[in-house]
């Protein structure tokens, strides 16, 4: 018997009986729960992620009846993701290629549960690299004073091409209008341990401040620069001997690892946004 693996993500005001209702509903439809995570936030919101297998024939009925049978009585926000659906990723980069190349190699090795569909950049430098992976490359320059036009071009490039946009050291601020227009989540990697050193030049400022660890932060992009919900962070030890160039080189290893983890988790439907933060299941 063929099985589908589905992932239910749900949130609602906490009250007794939610797990019993959900798991009972799933059991009646022949599902087997393989992983379940829940969390109730300080403000009383219940979050749930259940991964379960279900006979292929039961899938449609299960999804169709869930709303009426379970979600409505609990006032639940929910979605069911099918693990067979491979999310499409568009990557935006600028000149630095370490995060881009890292993602492309993971994808080529089959380690990224996603399909990279295109790469776009405001510079042409990474074109040969992208093309060596057999991927379309789009050069969308951002001339001074023409940001709105560039964003319109970029939106055209991305339209219907992706379920997620990854900013792999894309050194342009995206407007709220652009984010609204593309309508898919955007993940950015910032080269500091936020909220330390938001904005430009974090390695220079880390050096001037004499910090003993530098870091990187992957976050969902919102209109507020470097203020979006944090998905993942990591750090590496440095010393006074490491000048800014060396901080940038050491930091690059952290950036690519942190970004890869965030993208992986997003594609595995393990991330739920809760106010300004992210629950990682």
List, by residue number, the catalytic residues. 226
Q: Least Å distance between CB 212 and a second copy? A: 4
Q: Looking at residue 58, what DSSP letter applies? A: G
30 or 185: whose CB is closer to a second copy?
30
Q: Quick check: 30 binds a second copy (CB under 8 A)?
A: yes
73 or 141: whose CB is closer to a second copy?
73
Select from 7, 98, 191, 266 the one that contacts a second copy (CB under 8 A): 98
SS3 121: strand
Separation CA 167–CA 44 (nearest Å): 33
The DSSP annotation for 152-214 comes to HHHHHHHTTT-SEEEESS--SPPPHHHHHHH-S-EEEEESS-TTSS-SS-HHHHHHHHT-SEE
Of residues 254-273, those binding a second copy (CB under 8 A): 257
Separation CA 86–CA 112 (nearest Å): 10
166 or 238: whose CB is closer to a second copy?
238
Separation CA 264–CA 135 (nearest Å): 20
Of residues 121-150, those binding a second copy (CB under 8 A): 132
Q: Which residues are near a second copy by CB under 8 A?
A: 15-21, 23-24, 26-27, 30-42, 97-98, 101, 105, 109, 111, 132, 193-197, 208-213, 215, 229-230, 232-235, 237, 239-241, 243, 249, 253, 257, 274, 276-280
């Amino acid at each position: 018997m063929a099985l589908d693996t589905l992932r239910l993500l749900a949130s609602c005001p906490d009250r007794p009986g939610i797990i019993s209702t959900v798991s009972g509903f799933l059991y009646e439809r022949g599902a087997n729960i393989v992983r379940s995570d829940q969390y109730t936030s300080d403000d009383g919101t219940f979050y749930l992620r259940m991964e379960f297998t279900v006979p292929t024939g039961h899938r449609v009925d299960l999804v169709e009846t869930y709303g009426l049978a379970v979600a409505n009585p609990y006032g639940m926000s929910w979605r069911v993701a099918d693990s067979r659906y491979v999310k499409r990723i568009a990557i935006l980069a600028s000149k630095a290629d370490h995060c881009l190349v890292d993602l492309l190699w993971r994808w080529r090795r089959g380690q990224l549960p996603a399909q990279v569909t295109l790469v776009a950049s405001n510079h042409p430098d990474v074109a040969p690299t992208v093309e060596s992976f057999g991927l379309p490359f789009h050069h969308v320059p951002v001339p001074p004073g023409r940001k709105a036009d560039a964003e319109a071009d970029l939106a055209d490039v991305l339209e219907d091409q992706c379920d997620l946009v990854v900013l792999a050291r894309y050194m342009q601020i995206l407007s709220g209008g652009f984010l609204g227009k593309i309508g898919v989540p955007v993940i950015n990697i910032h080269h500091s341990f936020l909220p330390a050193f938001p904005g430009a030049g974090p390695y220079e400022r880390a050096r001037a401040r004499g910090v003993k660890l530098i870091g990187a932060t992957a976050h969902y992009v919102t209109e507020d620069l470097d203020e979006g919900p944090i998905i993942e962070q990591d750090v590496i030890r440095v010393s006074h001997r490491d000048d800014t160039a060396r901080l940038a080189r050491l930091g690059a290893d952290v950036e690519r690892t942190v970004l890869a983890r965030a993208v992986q988790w997003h594609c595995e439907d393990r991330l739920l946004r809760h106010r300004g933060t992210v629950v990682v299941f």
